[in-house]
Structure 1
Amino acid sequence: MSLKREKPSEQREVASIRNDYVRSVERKEKRHQAHKVRLFRRLSVFGILVLMASIWIGTTIYAQSQTISEKEQMRAETLASLEKAEKEQKKLEEQILLLNDDEYIAKLARKEYFLSEDGEIIFTLPNEDQKTKEKADGKE
């Protein structure tokens, strides 16, 4: 047992052996390390391309969904106006049929223009709306 203190293994200086085998192993390690670096770079570039493609696809889908929702809203409004126009057309067609009837025209003339036949007297009665207005005016 010696009293000498041994240096820790980190501080020991070991000379490397420089022969063909050691050099070939070092070359293999360098090639392997260079291959890892190139692989990492390729995967990084590929990952960035995939990320950019995903973002582009996502924004395209979002924009198209917004366009679709706007067009669906326009379609609903157009269908509502079409339905309203069809109802109006049906109402006008019915009115045309009624206006072709002479009895209806005579009735309409009596009602709107107070026309009468010989010997007829026309009395106008107030409508329900006018009666309720008069009652409301009287209460105030």
Structure 2
Amino acid sequence: MGAERKRNVSKIQTSYVEQQEYAEIASARKRKLLIRRLSLFLVFASLLSYLMISSYLSQTTKLDAKIAQKKQIAGELTELKKQQEILKEDIIKLNDDDYIAKLARKEYFFSEKNEIIFNIPKEKKEK
């Protein structure tokens, strides 16, 4: 049973049989070409989808970094605006002679006429 048997059947050599054989061969070729085209299309589609997904992921990470940087810079901007307001107030105060006199007496221990400055040492509290 393992050996092949030789068939004693011969083919009919008519034009119809030849046409059917050519049609089978053509159909097999078309199927083979279709499979090749579909596999090539699958390779290109998978490559394109990989590139699109990787670019999307890299763009989202860059966008997240930019958003974090924007938040940080916005915080710095608010701090700088507060500092600017404080400095504007200081400029207005420094244009006042009474404020300058108080500041000089406080920081540099200047005194007015007939005024005595007592320097009290700060005691350390240990407990």
Matched, 1:66 2:66: no
Partner residue, 1:16: 11
Q: How does 1:27-66 map to 2 (within 5 A)?
A: 27-66=22-61
What aligned pairs does 1:50-129 form with structure 2 within 5 A after superposition?
50-125=45-120
Aligned counterparts of 1:125 and 1:20: Cα–Cα separation in 2 = 128
Identical aligned pairs, as a percentage? Answer: 37
Q: How many Å separate the matches in 1 of 2:79 and 2:57?
A: 33
- Whether 1:135 and 2:91 are equivalent positions in the alignment is no
SS in structure 1 at match of 2:62: helix
With the length of structure 1 as denominator, give the TM-score of the two structures: 0.78
State the shift of 1:77 in Å.
Answer: 2.0
Deviation at 1:40?
0.7
- Structure 2: any 5+ residue segments left out of the alignment? none
Higher Cα radius of gyration: 1
Between the aligned partners of 1:16 and 1:95, the Cα distance in structure 2 is: 112
Q: CA deviation at 1:125?
A: 4.2
**Residue 93 (structure 1) shift:** 0.5
The AA in structure 2 aligned to 1:108 is L
Number of residues paired by the alignment? 124
Q: Deviations over 1:72-123 (max 9, x none)?
A: 2222222122222111111111111111112111111111111111111122
| Unmatched runs of 5 consecutive residues or more in structure 1 | 1-6
TM-score, L = length of structure 2: 0.85
